[in-house]
Chains A and B, each alone.
Chain A
Amino acid sequence: MALKDVFLQHPERRYIMFGGGGGVGKTTFSAAAAYWLASQGKKVLVFSVDPQASLTDIFKRDIFGKGPVKIMDNLWAQEIDADSHIRGYQKEIRQKILDMYGLPAVPEEIERYIQAASAEPAMEESAMFDAVVDVVMKGDYDYYIYDLVPLGHALYYLSMAKVYDEWINKITKLRQEMREYEEMVSRLRREKESEQDQILQELLYIKNRINTSAGIFTDKAKTAFFFVVIPEAGVINDTQKAAGMFAKFDVPVAGYVVNRVIPHALLDQNIPEYLRRRIAMQDQHMGEMRKALGDQVLALVPEMDRDVTGLPMIEKLAAIMFV
């Protein structure tokens, strides 16, 4: 099967993800897939959940933190600015405290807590994935293309979501039990309805957010996850390990796209021994991959003779990927 067929046969898979180690071409392929889908008349948003995003470089447009930016007909790109997202969020929390208690300023120890929590390393990742929920839930586009973080981070996020989901279930249950006692007391005292438990409402909200963002990763009906690999032993090994772990989290892997394949046509030319060896090495790895993965290998993309930046190069790449 070819990469194109996966899209043609499963138009319901609207969330497209390219995952892989660092520097294998995730962003490039995200951009190319977005370009191809847009040129097929689909409305596409390609967005980055990586703080070190490079969509700006690929499209040669400054899109960082500017919301969805129109690149061409049907194609929008977005890079989420986690830092400013976090700052806005902190401001919201502070304002809520001031409003709730009519305080002139946030108490010092509370402010310290806000600062400390925001310095946690997981903060940026959580903020990013949370922002994605807003982007995706609006549902303005036919396709959402995730330019993902390197595999380790994605796995970390998935496992985090699972742990938190279990914890929130536990704590929500506790909160609900507390609520029952509260209601019992107010019945005994013949009071009117007790106040709504706002903490419980917040917990349910948080649970919903985490489940939505992690749920998209594991939605077999709507999500297609592609691994990007390059034919080198280290990358293939890492990817196989990651694939095993992704399988445990029920991520629907749609196939593999191989990048940086040295064109065989070069063999007919007068090329140095060095290059011949590299081609032989890649052939060996490709053979092993085909044996292990069969028709899950969807496309081979050659090593390009220049950087893939700007729409003309993206178009060229898309034409190769989606033959």
Chain B
Amino acid sequence: MTEEQKAEAKKSWLQAVRETIYGMAAHDMSRAALRTRASMEHLFILITMGDLLGVPVLPPYYSLRLLPYVVPQIATWKRRMLREKDVADAMF
């Protein structure tokens, strides 16, 4: 094995170690970060462009009419929102 080959082998070994450590420690984190980034993006569009997606921009006067029907859903809805609490916190 020449010096050059040795250096090459060492380099690729180091590369493999680096990738393994990344895979073990950081991959999940970066995936989670990307997912968070994506849901922030969605949240942002939802807030600004809600009506494009059909999110109620109903006059508040009339949205009150619908309130009694969604009372049971409010709890589940809150749970969903709370799951994303870190996202909302980051934004507001």
A-side residues, CB < 8 A to B, are 86, 89-90, 93, 96-97, 100-101, 107, 109-110, 113-114, 117-118, 120, 122-123, 126-127, 130, 160, 163-164, 167-168, 170-171, 174, 198-199, 202-203, 205-206, 209-210
Contact at B60–A202, with CB atoms within 8 Å?
no
Q: Mark B48-69, 1 if CB is under 8 A from A, else 0.
A: 0001001011111111111111
Total residue contacts A-B, CB cutoff 8 A = 78
With A and B bound together, what is the CA distance between A117 and B62 in angstroms? 10
A96-B54 contact, Cβ under 8 Å, with A126-B62, A160-B59: no
B62 CB contact (under 8 Å) in A86, A96, A97, A206:
A206
With A and B bound together, what is the CA distance between A168 and B54 in angstroms? 9
12 further A-B pairs in the complex, CB-CB below 8 A; given A117-B60, A122-B59: A86-B61, A89-B61, A89-B64, A97-B71, A100-B68, A101-B72, A107-B71, A122-B60, A164-B62, A167-B56, A171-B54, A174-B54
Contacts of B51 in A (CB 8 A): 163, 167
A198-B71 contact, Cβ under 8 Å, with A90-B64, A122-B59, A206-B58: no
Contact at A110–B62, with CB atoms within 8 Å?
no
Task: Report if B78 contacts A (CB, 8 A).
Answer: yes
Contact at A96–B68, with CB atoms within 8 Å?
yes
Contacts of A123 in B (CB 8 A): 59-61
Contact at B71–A100, with CB atoms within 8 Å?
yes
Contact at A202–B69, with CB atoms within 8 Å?
yes
Q: For chain A, what secondary structure do more than half of its interface residues adopt (helix, strand, loop), or is it mixed?
A: helix
Contact at B69–A198, with CB atoms within 8 Å?
yes
Contacts of B56 in A (CB 8 A): 167, 171
With A and B bound together, what is the CA distance between A86 and B60 in angstroms? 11
Contact at B64–A114, with CB atoms within 8 Å?
yes
Contact at B58–A93, with CB atoms within 8 Å?
no
We find that the number of chain B residues with CB closer than 8 angstroms to chain A is: 21
Find the residue from B58, B60, B69, B74 having the highest chain A CB count within 10 A. Answer: B60
With A and B bound together, what is the CA distance between A48 and B70 in angstroms? 35
With A and B bound together, what is the CA distance between A164 and B59 in angstroms? 8
With A and B bound together, what is the CA distance between A107 and B75 in angstroms? 11
Contact at B59–A110, with CB atoms within 8 Å?
no
Closest to A95 in B: B68
B-side residues, CB < 8 A to A, are 51, 54, 56-72, 74, 78
Contact at B68–A97, with CB atoms within 8 Å?
yes
A167-B54 contact, Cβ under 8 Å, with A109-B74, A130-B61: yes
Contacts of B58 in A (CB 8 A): 164, 167-168, 206
With A and B bound together, what is the CA distance between A102 and B54 in angstroms? 32
Contact at A93–B54, with CB atoms within 8 Å?
no
Q: In the complex, what's the smallest C-beta–C-beta distance from A285 to chain B, in angstroms?
A: 39
Contacts of A100 in B (CB 8 A): 68-69, 71
Closest to A119 in B: B60
Closest to A174 in B: B54
Contacts of A206 in B (CB 8 A): 58, 62, 65
Q: In the complex, what's the smallest C-beta–C-beta distance from B7 to chain A, in angstroms?
A: 64
With A and B bound together, what is the CA distance between A100 and B66 in angstroms? 13
Find the residue from A86, A160, A199 having the highest chain B CB count within 10 A. Answer: A199
Contact at A110–B65, with CB atoms within 8 Å?
no
With A and B bound together, what is the CA distance between A234 and B7 in angstroms? 83
A93-B68 contact, Cβ under 8 Å, with A170-B54, A174-B54: yes
